Amino acid sequence: MTQEIILAFIAFAFVSSITPGPNNLMLMSSGANFGFKMTVPHLMGVVVGFAIMIELVGLGVMQLFNAFPVTYEILKFVSIGYLLYLTYKIATAKPSTENQIEEKSKPLTFVQATLFQWVNPKAWTMALTAVSVYAPEQTLLSVSIISVIFAIVGFPCVASWIVLGQKMQAMLKQPSHMQKFNWAMAGLLVISIIPTL
């Protein structure tokens, strides 16, 4: 990869990581409901899970979609269904403190956030675009380079959404305010699904 391609890819990784999408909206909601510290496993799952996704897309999953286009359509509808389920979970989440976490309302774990990348339409779009445009030869080296760059650039971008959510905690101390916030986040998550339809 040339220096120009790497610089262009860094810009692509930044813009696609910092803009709203299911991951960022869920991280902001988690930051507001649970704080930064408790959302770290979710954050790490997003970063690591997406890096693994790029590797696997670049090393074979893209060929599967090309050979069997129906698999992509099936994945799209499964993804939308799961996102609607998460929308419900966000809309009904109750504020928690570090000393009292309700069983029904916990932040995503590292494993859950890692697996979520595989049903996240924006993550699929980002991964397929990154591989097809910036690593078209799909060698292990080129795919690994974009995977690592995405993780490095993406980490502070997605972490900033947790900070934003955490900063809103002071305004959301009243349960009614937090409930309205969660409804708004659920609504935005639904809106983020529309481009995939």
CB 38 within 8 Å of CB 165: no
Q: What is the pLDDT of residues 48-63, one digit of tens each?
A: 999 999 999 988 876 7
Q: What is the pLDDT of residues 83-121, one digit of tens each?
A: 788 788 778 776 554 444 444 568 899 999 999 998 888
CB 51 within 8 Å of CB 151: yes
d(CA 113, CA 65) in angstroms, rounded, equals 23
Q: For 94, phi and psi rounded to 5 degrees?
A: -110, 145
Quick check: 187 pLDDT over 50? yes
Determine if the pTM surpasses 0.85. no
